[in-house]
Amino acid sequence: MNGQPLARLAVLISGRGRNLQALQAAVADGRIPAVIVGVISNRADAEGLAYARNAGLPCTVLPHRDYPDRAAFDAALAAALDALQPDIVALAGFMRILTDGFVRAFEGRLLNIHPSLLPRHKGLHTHDAVLRDGDGEHGATVHFVSPQLDGGPPVIQGKFTVDAHDDAARLAERVMTEVERKIYPQAVAWMARGELRFEQGGAAFRGRPLREPLSLDDLESGFR
């Protein structure tokens, strides 16, 4: 990185941690010029925590049910992140809707990956929605986080053709293996290098505003 310090990356999870694994692998082999300074989960039973601990990553558990309301949980989460001083906060299957105040406090540092071709199918159960609506394509989107649910500026999307024999479970697996594990590490790498930024309410890539999300064709060779 031409002598630049490594970016400080915090990862938030709620489940299996498959995107966390992809990010950690890319950090470990140098594709992402960063250090994972902490993994935070709102669930003590999140499977991804076992992986994180085995990988030697510092972990924090903040069970959301221990807090009286969403604002109290987000305040505790913000305090935990402030202690880590992250340059990038990657939501990796973090199943919490964040308050406006939290998002504003970390604006420009928050990335999320959503399993649909946004703006289609915001929220949960995206694979079922694709089948219900008869969509011909499906995929995932990396975007900056805004107060609007799954509504922040998109960075990169990956898509594939839905097959006649795809069910929701197979779509979920295809989205993860064919798209998410490629585009999320790539987006975080761009951000860690300073090539991807949040500017004037939108995404900017290599000094230019992104008018539309990047695609699988834009992946560098190490992320394909």
For 41-45, what is the mean pLDDT? Answer: 97
Domain residue spans in the chain? Answer: 7-223
Residue 2: its pLDDT value, please?
58
Q: What is the mean pLDDT of residues 41-54?
A: 97
Question: Does residue 206 surpass a pLDDT of 80?
Answer: yes
Own/partner pairs, 126-135, CB within 8 angstroms, 24+ separation: 127/168, 127/169, 127/171, 127/172, 127/175, 128/168, 130/162, 130/171, 131/162, 131/166, 131/167, 131/168, 131/171, 135/162
pLDDT, tens digit (0-9, with 9 covering 90-100), for 67-78: 999 999 999 999
Tell me which fold the domain 7-223 belongs to: Rossmann fold (3.40.50)
Longest dimension (CA), the chain: 51
Q: Is residue 34 a contact partner of residue 59, using CB atoms and an 8 Å limit?
A: no
pTM metric for this prediction: 0.96
pLDDT tens-digit series, residues 71-119: 999 999 999 999 999 999 999 999 999 999 999 999 999 999 999 999 9
Q: Give φ, ψ of 38 to 5 degrees.
A: 180, 150
**Active-site hit among 64, 114, 121, 127:** 114
Query: Is 121 an annotated catalytic residue?
Result: no
